[in-house]
């Protein structure tokens, strides 16, 4: 499991918000479902905390892999002050 580094709360909240905003609606629904499912099925608080941390780590890893995969499928062309994303053919 990926270690979660604790940052100042405002910065962490902004990073989480940015990740959620960059995710598709289906991805956010899936994340919410996983969180609610774990809350409803856990027997004690320690297991719940471990499970939620694991869910958070998995979400971060998924987004990192998705960005890496997206970078493989697109190339950027710099035109003046703008960057244009081009599909790889």
pLDDT confidence of residue 42: 64
pLDDT confidence of residue 73: 56
**What are 43's two structure tokens?**
């027997």
Q: Angle CA(86)–CA(77)–CA(23) in degrees, nearest 5?
A: 50
Residues 56 and 52: their CA atoms lie apart, in Å, by 6
pLDDT confidence of residue 6: 59
Burial class (CB in 10 A: 0-12, 13-18, 19+), 27: middle
Residue located via tokens 């027997």: 43
pLDDT confidence of residue 84: 45
pLDDT of the chain, 89 residues: tens digit per residue:
445 555 677 888 888 898 889 888 998 999 899 889 888 886 788 888 888 888 888 888 888 888 776 656 555 554 555 544 455 54
Nearest by Cα to 59 from 15, 19, 10: 19
């Amino acid at each position: 499991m990926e270690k979660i580094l604790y940052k100042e709360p405002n910065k962490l909240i902004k990073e989480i918000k940015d990740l959620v905003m960059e995710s598709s609606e289906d991805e956010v629904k899936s994340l919410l479902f996983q969180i609610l499912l774990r809350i409803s099925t856990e027997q004690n608080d320690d297991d719940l905390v471990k499970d939620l941390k694991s869910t958070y780590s998995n979400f971060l890893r998924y987004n990192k892999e998705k960005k890496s995969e997206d970078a493989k499928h697109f190339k950027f062309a710099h035109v003046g002050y703008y960057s244009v994303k081009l599909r790889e053919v």
